[in-house]
Amino acid sequence: MNIYVGNLPFNLGEEDLKEIFEEYGEVTSAKIISDKFSGRSKGFGFVEMSNDDEANNSIKELNNAEVSGRNIKVNESKPRENDNRGGGDRRGGGGGDRRGGSGGGYQQRERY
């Protein structure tokens, strides 16, 4: 089972995260998501456990538990669903969302 862990202390390392969950069973992986530009933790991560019963027990026991002064949020990770907000590409643009918005992006100036 893949488990989402949020509100993590920014100084918590992946090995620390793994150790927290190992008290409840075998951890196959622990990953903290970091900003690709600064390398700084984004304050959330994912833990994968091979046994669903152990994973569910860890969720039950660790959700809202205090870790380094922060109450972490723990729940089963669900795959992202397409939320119909459209998307853009690197040049800007972007689709509207289901509320009828017009996407973002930049406007090119006309040349005279």
pLDDT tens profile 60-107: 999 999 999 999 999 999 887 776 665 555 555 555 555 555 555 555
In this prediction, residue 94 carries a pLDDT of: 52
Q: Residue 3 — pLDDT band, cuts 50, 70, 90?
A: very high
- Domains within the chain, CATH numbers bracketed: 2-76 (3.30.70.330)
In this prediction, residue 108 carries a pLDDT of: 54
Residue 110 has a CB neighbour count (10 Å cut-off) of: 5
Once rounded to an integer, what is the mean pLDDT over residues 48-53?
Answer: 98
Distance CA 41, CA 56 (A): 25
Model pLDDT for residues 12-30, shown as the tens digit of each residue? 999 999 999 999 999 999 9
Nearest to 17 by CA among 36, 31, 3: 31
pTM: 0.71
Model pLDDT for residues 29-38, shown as the tens digit of each residue? 999 999 999 9
Distance CA 34, CA 45 (A): 9
- DSSP, res 60: H
In this prediction, residue 67 carries a pLDDT of: 97
